[in-house]
Chains A and B, each alone.
Chain A
């Protein structure tokens, strides 16, 4: 696992660096390792982006949020 930190502006999306996946990979729920502030309204999902699969986080709130997410090796 590789932990990365993302800053997500208000009402915006932020994407992690791409990570490698095998052919058998399937999308599933993404657990965020840390959210600051803890009560921030965020959701996350894996999305194919330029260069490969990335974890994308959406901040529904009106203040910037910091999150940490674990990427597969």
Chain B
């Protein structure tokens, strides 16, 4: 798992553990993510939205897709060809492998091995998310997540924008005992802040816990909190609810979150790999239809009309006809 991982964690700043016992959030719901196919047929696990963690529990998040980890053979790698979005943000974090993005405004780039791409769809955009031709030809490891972050009514019509967050920009810290590496992609964790700029106050963290390690972190009491296991096994909350790869734990109220790694996490890295995410709920009505997330049904119908009429943008001409002069 090459997501940025220094050889030595002991020199990193330590996150102070939260205050007195009793402030740790307990696990209220646990879900095993169902599997499904997306785009051109790549497999994902989706812990939310589900019956256990619905829009209300996930708020301000809408959806989490765990892509892989999958070892593609030659010709097998698949992506998500051109499609629209409106009304929210997509956050794509690549742990292993490479993905290429292009959009209807001429933007895009390549992210790999610990990079994050943060796309604010806002008023509407078309994009594609594909494995590069070289990866399709040769095959290779592919592992990442895509998170959808809702936008409040006042920001749903904000102009689209991209943030490309290099792996080297991610804020690295360690647990209080130094036995867990914490990558802060966005938001705050204790006194430390990640590089992602968020419209909605959120925290997004990828932590790697050594066997038997404990990660206890302060968590804003007005945020929700979810832990999702990317690989390995461990426990969540003060009551030590067992969690393993593909499971998400949704926490109740409190001012701290704790996860612990199994003595033998049984993952490719030998560690518990876990996402911690949370944010301040938006608490607005949600109307969702495929790639559109608005506040009302009428706005969904308008989004479909706008997409169908080309008002969310069009595929750039040089992509439709690669031989044409740019």
User: Residue B304 at the A interface, CB < 8 A?
Assistant: yes
- For A11, the closest partner residue in chain B by CB is B301
The dominant DSSP class at the A interface is: strand
- For A29, the closest partner residue in chain B by CB is B308
- For A45, the closest partner residue in chain B by CB is B308
Interface residues of B (CB under 8 A from A): 36-41, 78-84, 130-131, 136, 289-291, 300-301, 304-305, 307-308, 315, 320
Check if A43 sits within 8 Å of B40, measured CB to CB: no
Check if A51 sits within 8 Å of B36, measured CB to CB: yes
1/0 per residue, CB under 8 A from B, across A46-61: the answer is 0111111110101000
Chain B residues lying within 8 Å of A25, measured Cβ to Cβ, are 40, 81-82
Interface extent on A, as a size class?
20 to 34
Known contacts A24-B81, A58-B308; A48 and B38 CB within 8 A of each other: yes
Q: B124: shortest Cβ distance to chain A, in Å?
A: 13
Known contacts A11-B301, A23-B130, A58-B308; A47 and B40 CB within 8 A of each other: no
Chain B residues lying within 8 Å of A24, measured Cβ to Cβ, are 81
> Which residues A1-51 have CB closer than 8 A to chain B?
11, 13, 15, 20-27, 43-45, 47-51
Known contacts A43-B308, A45-B308, A56-B304; A50 and B36 CB within 8 A of each other: yes
Determine the distance from Cα of A11 to Cα of B300 in the docked complex, in whole angstroms. 11
Known contacts A26-B315, A48-B291; A21 and B40 CB within 8 A of each other: yes
